[in-house]
Amino acid sequence: MKVGDIVRCKFQPSSSGYNTKTGCMEPMLYHIKEELGIFIGARDKHSGIVFFPQFNYQHYIAFKSLEIVSETG
């Protein structure tokens, strides 16, 4: 997976991440399963960051939960 690839999310997360101020998980505000996004970088060897322009939102997500729809040149 390369920066700029168009990907489809195959998983719906229940939270958007951990809030260090409250010590709680933040609820997921968007339904991203089956939505298209742009791969913008790797987080580690198992996950990356996907930007969903339709929501102006980015999310860390496991590579196994993504499907490449269109690869960059």
Q: What is the pLDDT of residue 31?
A: 95
Q: Is 13 a member of any domain?
A: yes
Q: What is the pLDDT of residue 25?
A: 95
User: What pLDDT digit, counting tens, does each position of 6-31 carry?
Assistant: 999 999 989 998 999 999 999 999 99
| Closest to 4 measured CA to CA, from 61, 51, 54, 64 | 51
**CB 2 within 8 Å of CB 71:** yes
Q: What is the pLDDT of residue 72?
A: 85
The total domain count for the chain is 1
Domain ranges, residue 61 = 6-70
Q: Is 14 a member of any domain?
A: yes
The CATH number of the domain holding residue 48 is 2.30.30
User: What pLDDT digit, counting tens, does each position of 40-51 carry?
Assistant: 999 999 999 999
Q: Is 1 a member of any domain?
A: no
Q: What is the pLDDT of residue 27?
A: 94
